[in-house]
C-alpha cells in the first residue's frame, strides 16, 4: 500500500454533557481527523489526546506539528506492506504514543479496505458485539449521581464507572451502592490520590466495586503495587500503561489486576494486541477504555474490543450520549448494553465530509 497524500482537519465538537473528572471539566472535544490516501482508497483516524496535557503529556498542538512535520513525511510515497511495516518508519521516534497511534489507525483502515475486510476480522476478533458500560463524571450532588446511575442501568449498561476525587468518594459511593445493591460499579480517580489515602481505599473495599481505576500518579506502578497489597478491591491501571513493556512490568510487580486498554494511549492497535496477549498470559482480563471519541475513534475501539480477553464491559457507550451529531454516517448505538461491531471494510465508518469541513478550524494537506 503506497501512501500518496495525507490530510488533517482540526475540529471542535461540543459534548452533550459537562464531564468533570479529578483533572478538570470538559464541555467539548478537540479532534484531529486524519485521512491517508493510497491506491484510490481513504483511511481514517481521529486523535484522542486532550487540548491540554491533563490526562497524559500529549496535546493537540503537539500532535498536529508532529504529524505534519515528521510522521506523515516519514511515510509519504512509501510502499508499506502492512501495519508492522509502518512501524519501521516511526519506531525510532520516542513517546508520542497517541500521535503515532493516529497514523497507525488510519493505515489499518486503509490496509483493511485494500483487503476488503473489516478490521475486527483481520485482527482475529471473536465476537460481533461487545459488552459496554458508561463512565459518569463528577456530578453536583449525590442525589444527581444516584439518579444518573439509575438511568444508565435502565438503559441496559452493564457497568457504571464513577469518577472520584478526594472529598468525592466514599460517601457518594456508599449512597450509590445502597440504592443499587446489585449493580456492577467501579470508580476512576484519574491519579488524584497518594499513599497517604490508603484508609480511604480500605473504606471502599466495603462498596463491592469490580475495581478502582488509576488511584495514584499517572506515571507510577510501584506505589500502586503497595496500595494493591493493602486493599482487597482490584486496582485497574489506565494512565500508567503506555506500552506492552509497561503492562508486563506492572503485572509482574502486582501493581493491579486489570488493565483499561485504550489503543491510542499504548501506541496503537498492534501494541494493544500485544498487551491483550500479555494480560492473557497472567490470566487477567482487559477492557476497552474510552477518551470521549467521536465515530472514527469509537469504531476503532469497538473493533479492537472483539479480541478474546475483552470480557469486562468497556466505556464504548452509544455515540448519541456524547454528540448531537456524530462525524460519521453510521450510528454507533448500544442496545441492552451491547454494541454491534461495524461490518464494512476497514473501520466500517464513513466520515461526514461536509460536517467536518464546516467544523474545521485548521486544515493541512501533505503530499510530495
Q: Does 246 bind Mg ion (CB under 5 A)?
A: no
Q: Does 238 bind Mg ion (CB under 5 A)?
A: yes
Of 83 and 289, CB closest to ligand OSB: 289
Read off the C-alpha cell for 35: 485521512
Q: Which of 125, 244, 289, 345 binds ligand OSB (CB under 6 A)?
A: 289
3-class DSSP state for residue 190? coil
Q: Which does 169 bind (CB under 5 to 8 A by kind): ligand OSB, Mg ion, none?
A: none
163 is catalytic: yes
Q: Does 292 bind ligand OSB (CB under 6 A)?
A: yes
Angle at 228 between CA 226 and CA 230, to 5 degrees: 75
Q: Does 188 bind Mg ion (CB under 5 A)?
A: yes
Catalytic residue among 9, 161, 262, 312: 262
Q: Which of 267, 307, 258 is nearest to 286 (CA)?
A: 258
**Given its phi and psi angles, is residue 318 left (phi above 0), alpha (psi -120 to 50 degrees) or beta?**
beta
Residues of span 125-154 touching ligand OSB by CB under 6 A:
135
d(CA 150, CA 142): 12
Of 109 and 293, CB closest to ligand OSB: 293
The Cβ of residue 288 has, within 10 Å, a number of other Cβ atoms equal to 26
Q: Which of 109, 169, 315, 330 binds ligand OSB (CB under 6 A)?
A: 315
Of 104 and 213, CB closest to Mg ion: 213
Task: Using DSSP bridges, classify how beta strands 360-367 and 338-340 pair: parallel, antiparallel or unpaired.
Answer: unpaired
Q: What are phi and psi of 233, to 5 degrees?
A: -65, 140
The position carrying cell 495525507 is 6
Of 74 and 194, CB closest to ligand OSB: 194
3-class DSSP state for residue 282? coil
Helix (H) or strand (E) holding 148: helix 142-154
Q: Which of 225, 270, 291, 347 binds ligand OSB (CB under 6 A)?
A: 291
Q: How many CA atoms lie within 13 A of 332 on its CB side?
A: 33
Of 43 and 314, CB closest to ligand OSB: 314
Catalytic residue among 163, 226, 249, 362: 163
Residues of span 199-228 touching Mg ion by CB under 5 A:
213
Q: How far is the CB of 356 from ligand OSB (least distance, A)?
A: 20
Count residues near Mg ion (CB under 5 A): 3
| Contact window for Mg ion (CB under 5 A) among 57-65, 98-106, 186-194, 317-325 | 186-194
Residues of span 31-70 touching ligand OSB by CB under 6 A:
55
Count residues near ligand OSB (CB under 6 A): 10
d(CA 110, CA 107): 5
312 is catalytic: no
d(CA 137, CA 20): 5
Q: How many CA atoms lie within 13 A of 145 on its CB side?
A: 29
Cβ atoms of residues 131 and 158 within 8 Å: yes
Of 73 and 137, CB closest to Mg ion: 137
The position carrying cell 506539528 is 65
Q: Does 326 bind ligand OSB (CB under 6 A)?
A: no
**Cβ-proximal residue to ligand OSB, closest one:** 290
Q: Does 290 bind ligand OSB (CB under 6 A)?
A: yes
Helix (H) or strand (E) holding 149: helix 142-154
Read off the C-alpha cell for 219: 506515571
Active site residues: 163, 262
**Contact positions toward Mg ion, by CB under 5 A?**
188, 213, 238
**Contact positions toward ligand OSB, by CB under 6 A?**
55, 135, 188, 190, 238, 289-292, 315
Amino acid at each position: 500500500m503506497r501512501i500518496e497524500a495525507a490530510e488533517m482537519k482540526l475540529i471542535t465538537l461540543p459534548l452533550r454533557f459537562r464531564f468533570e473528572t479529578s483533572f478538570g471539566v470538559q464541555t467539548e472535544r478537540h479532534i484531529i481527523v486524519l485521512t491517508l490516501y493510497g491506491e484510490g482508497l481513504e483511511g481514517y483516524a481521529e486523535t484522542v489526546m486532550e487540548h491540554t496535557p491533563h490526562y497524559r503529556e500529549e496535546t493537540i498542538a503537539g500532535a498536529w506539528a508532529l504529524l505534519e512535520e515528521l510522521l506523515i513525511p516519514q511515510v509519504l510515497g512509501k510502499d508499506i506492506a502492512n501495519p508492522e511495516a509502518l512501524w519501521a518508519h516511526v519506531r525510532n521516534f520516542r513517546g508520542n504514543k497517541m500521535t503515532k497511534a493516529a497514523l497507525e489507525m488510519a493505515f489499518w483502515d486503509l490496509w483493511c479496505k485494500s483487503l476488503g475486510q473489516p478490521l475486527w476480522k483481520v485482527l482475529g476478533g471473536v465476537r460481533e458485539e461487545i459488552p459496554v458500560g458508561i463512565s459518569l463524571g463528577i456530578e453536583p450532588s449525590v442525589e444527581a449521581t444516584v439518579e444518573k446511575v439509575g438511568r444508565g442501568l435502565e438503559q441496559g449498561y452493564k457497568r457504571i464507572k464513577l469518577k472520584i476525587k478526594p472529598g468525592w468518594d466514599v460517601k457518594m459511593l456508599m449512597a450509590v451502592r445502597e440504592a443499587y445493591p446489585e449493580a456492577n460499579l467501579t470508580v476512576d480517580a484519574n491519579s488524584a490520590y497518594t499513599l497517604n489515602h490508603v484508609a480511604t481505599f480500605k473504606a471502599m473495599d466495603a462498596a463491592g466495586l469490580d475495581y478502582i481505576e488509576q488511584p495514584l500518579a499517572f506515571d507510577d506502578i510501584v506505589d500502586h503495587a503497595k496500595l494493591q497489597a493493602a486493599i482487597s478491591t482490584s486496582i485497574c491501571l489506565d494512565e500508567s500503561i503506555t506500552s506492552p513493556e509497561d503492562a508486563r512490568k506492572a503485572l509482574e510487580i502486582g501493581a493491579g489486576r486489570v488493565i483499561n486498554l485504550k489503543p491510542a494511549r499504548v501506541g496503537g492497535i498492534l501494541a494493544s494486541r500485544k498487551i491483550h496477549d500479555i494480560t492473557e498470559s497472567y490470566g487477567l482480563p482487559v477492557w476497552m477504555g474510552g477518551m470521549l471519541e467521536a465515530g472514527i475513534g469509537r469504531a476503532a475501539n469497538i473493533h479492537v474490543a472483539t479480541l478474546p480477553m475483552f470480557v469486562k464491559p468497556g466505556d464504548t457507550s452509544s455515540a448519541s450520549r456524547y454528540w448531537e451529531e456524530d462525524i460519521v454516517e453510521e450510528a454507533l448505538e448500544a442496545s441492552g448494553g451491547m454494541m454491534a461491531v461495524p461490518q464494512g471494510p476497514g473501520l466500517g465508518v464513513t466520515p461526514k465530509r461536509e460536517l467536518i469541513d464546516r467544523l474545521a478550524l485548521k486544515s493541512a494537506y501533505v503530499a510530495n
